[in-house]
Structure 1
Amino acid sequence: MLMEIRGTRLYVDQRGPAHAPALLYLHGGPGSGTYDFLAFQGDALAKQVRLIAVDQRGVQHSDPLAGPVTEHDLIADYEAVREALRIDSWTILGHSYGGRLALRYAVTHPGTVDRVIFENPAWDMELVTRTLLVAGRPLLRELGLDEGIEDLLADNGPATTDMWTARIGMLARLGDRRMELYLGPASRELKLPADELPDEIQSRAGRFAETIVRTPEFVESLLPLLAELPQPALLIKGEHDPVTSPTEIGRFQLDVADGTYRPFEGAGHFVHAEAAGEYTRLVTEFALRA
């Protein structure tokens, strides 16, 4: 359904028992939307939790973006949705870029976030884009498209919008083969359902991404926030995921007071699709943990 939230309409999908513990899904991208996650996990998770999935403002089935947007806006939107649904507090689950938002949200609103689940998060954009480039370098070289990659890797940051644009632009040279970087070997034939959505819906992702990457918050390293995280936290990491760097994993294990690290052998960036059954079990158990 569409909900009037802070001057726009957000698409909010609710599933599961109304009185079960609430779990909010924060999608990645930036600009990906909730459609794919719901296709793989929506009904399965809703058997035991009250699952709420929100397309961020301007994304997918929410109203098109009509102005500027920041990460703080997105978190304020989530809080407004929580209040509108009369949920006192919830567990939050952030995938990829959504894991970045989940960390901001948990630290800034400790009273309304009970637990945090991160799936292959992007906490530091210099490290994330470096890890992506290193993962993509062999394929870029194979295709003869790697000109300039070493210069991009020589830049040690800090992250800037120009760095993000240049590094992601390098990976865009891969075209249809780019998805090979994100999937484990056994999942190379996986198709994302959102690819079949109308072009007008899919195009909203580009507008959102172009807007959010220009904000200072987007390139800020959130690694210092890990030490401030007061909630129990679960980090899910696919063995072949090219996004979350070893440095970020190490900081999670060192700095988070009540943190659990769970690697998934054989999976890539989309653990929720590549290892769907075990993912459902793990997330449900963590969300329902006393």
Structure 2
Amino acid sequence: MKTISNGTFFNIRGKDLYVERHGPKDGYPVLYLHGGPGMGCYEFCYHQANPLSDKVRLIAIDQRGCCRSEMIQEDEFFSLHDIVLDCEALRKELGIDKWTLLGHSFGGFIALKYTTMFPDAVSRILFECPAFDFGLSAKSLLHKTSQIAEKEDMKRLVKECLGLAESDESTRELMMGFIELRPKLGEKGREIHEHNFNHPTDYSFYTEAEWEKFTNRSDVHNQRLMDGGLMFDSLLDNLKNIRQPALLINGQYDPVTCAEQLERFCKDVRGGEVITLQHSGHFPHAEEPEEFTNVVEEFLVREEM
């Protein structure tokens, strides 16, 4: 392995995986799984690495082919399962018996998949605004896009969003449709996912050229996941198999974890708990950082007792 300024590259299953580690070695081991797909762990670590590091042994990764991790090559096989297998290989590499998973958005999907495949490796699960079913999430995102468009008197966009959201299109088509329609809102598009803008992320640690390189890598990662199709399979039925203590942290204004998914979590996860932060959208860890840190630490301490 080789070390850089704030992270380490581990060769995991033949690829260099970017890994950040924060906090004491005897802290609660927590693996952070980022969303996007392809977002990387930079933004989460910017807001949470230092606050959590008093009690948490935080391990945060850029998933295979994302951002600072090694790029996926054109002739290289890659699927959603590779992300899960990478995490399990990293756990063994770090000598961790069991760890808590903290999955944000698409990372929640990965966390649930990992728990299904390797239940004995997981002590607890934290979901932050997860997407367990991308079809339901896409419809909710389209409805929120239409609400913002209506406020902006963008009648055609309202019609396009509602028409697609109320259609019988596949999960893939719903997601692709949302991705195509969102840019029509311009700067207002931020309001789909964000509610509280008081805690911006400083991305100046890397140059614009470096961020462009990271984004290009993530684009390959994203496209390959979409081409593979596994991310379009609903994992709602997997919720009933969770046996670990589980907490879902949601933002009051988050459109991704829609009502149907929250209802299934509450119904199917034995002892599962939901905490809603009142001034957040899709990024409670950044929009209400102190409250988020407190919720995570209280959950870990409570479940350890």
TM-score, normalization: structure 1?
Answer: 0.94
Residue 158 of structure 1 deviates from its aligned partner by 4.6
Amino acid at match of 2:118: H
Q: Does 1:254 find its partner at 2:267?
A: yes
Unmatched tracts of structure 2, length 5 or more: 1-7
Matches within 5 A, 1:38-77: 38-66=45-73, 67-77=76-86
Greater shift in the superposed pair: 268-277 or 139-148: 139-148
CA distance in 1: counterparts of 2:263 and 2:169, whole angstroms = 19
The corresponding residue for 1:188 is 197
Change (3 A) 1:195 1:143: farther
Among candidates 155, 164, 174, match of residue 185 of structure 2: 174
Hey, what does 1:207 align to over in structure 2?
Answer: 220
* Residue identity matched to 1:165: M
Specify whether residues 30 and 250 from structure 1 end up closer, same or farther in structure 2 by C-alpha distance, changes over 3 A only. same
CA distance in 2, matches of 1:196, 1:87: 30
The Cα RMSD (Å) is 1.7
1:179 is matched by which residue type in structure 2? R
Question: Does the CA-based 8 Å contact 1:23-1:287 persist in structure 2?
Answer: no
Q: Please tell me whether the aligned partners of residues 41 and 272 of structure 1 are also in contact (alpha carbons under 8 angstroms).
A: yes
Aligned equivalents of 1:116, 1:223: Cα separation in 2: 15
Q: Matches of 1:248 and 1:138 in 2, distance apart?
A: 21
C-alpha distance in structure 1 between counterparts of 2:186 and 2:215, whole Å: 16
Q: What are the equivalent positions in structure 2 for 1:46-125 lying under 5 Å apart?
A: 46-66=53-73, 67-125=76-134
Look up the SS of the partner of 1:155 in the other structure: coil
TM-fit CA distance, 1:190: 4.2
| Inter-CA distance 178–204: structure 2 relative to 1 (3 Å threshold) | farther
Q: Distance in 1 between matches of 2:198 and 2:290?
A: 18
How far apart, CA to CA, are the structure 2 residues paired with 1:213 and 1:190?
31
CA distance in 2 between counterparts of 1:152 and 1:275 reads 32
Amino acid paired to 1:204: R
Alignment partners' CA distance in 2, 1:18 and 1:276: 23
* Pairs within 5 Å for 1:13-52: 13-52=20-59
Aligned counterpart, 1:270: 283
CA distance in 1, matches of 2:186, 2:10: 35
1:157 deviates by: 4.8
In the TM superposition, what is the alpha-carbon distance from 1:148 to its structure 2 partner? 2.4
Whichever residue aligns with residue 190 of structure 2, its letter is M
Aligned to 1:239: 252
Q: Unmatched 5+ residue regions in structure 1?
A: none
Distance 2:243 2:127 in 1: 15
Q: Which residue, 129, 135, 142 being the options, matches 2:138?
A: 129
Query: C-alpha distance in 1, partners of 2:186/2:60?
Result: 29
Q: Separation in 2 of the partners of 1:171 and 1:195?
A: 26
Q: How has the CA–CA distance of structure 1 residues 125 and 194 changed in structure 2, closer, same or farther, with 3 Å as cutoff?
A: farther
Looking at structure 2, the residues matched to 258 and 34 of structure 1 have their Cα atoms a distance apart, in angstroms, of: 29
Which of 14, 17, 20 is equivalent to 1:7? 14
* Amino acid aligned to 2:105: S
**Secondary structure of the structure 1 residue equivalent to 2:46:** helix
Q: Distance in 1 between matches of 2:187 and 2:204?
A: 12
The equivalent residue for 2:5 is none
Secondary structure of 1:2's aligned partner: strand
Q: Which amino acid aligns with 1:116?
A: I
Partner of 2:4: none
Are 2:34 and 2:103, in contact at CA under 8 Å, matched by a contact in 1?
A: yes
| Pair 22,56 (structure 1): closer, same or farther in 2 beyond 3 Å | same
| Residues paired across the two proteins, number | 287
Q: Which residue of 2 aligns with 1:153?
A: 165
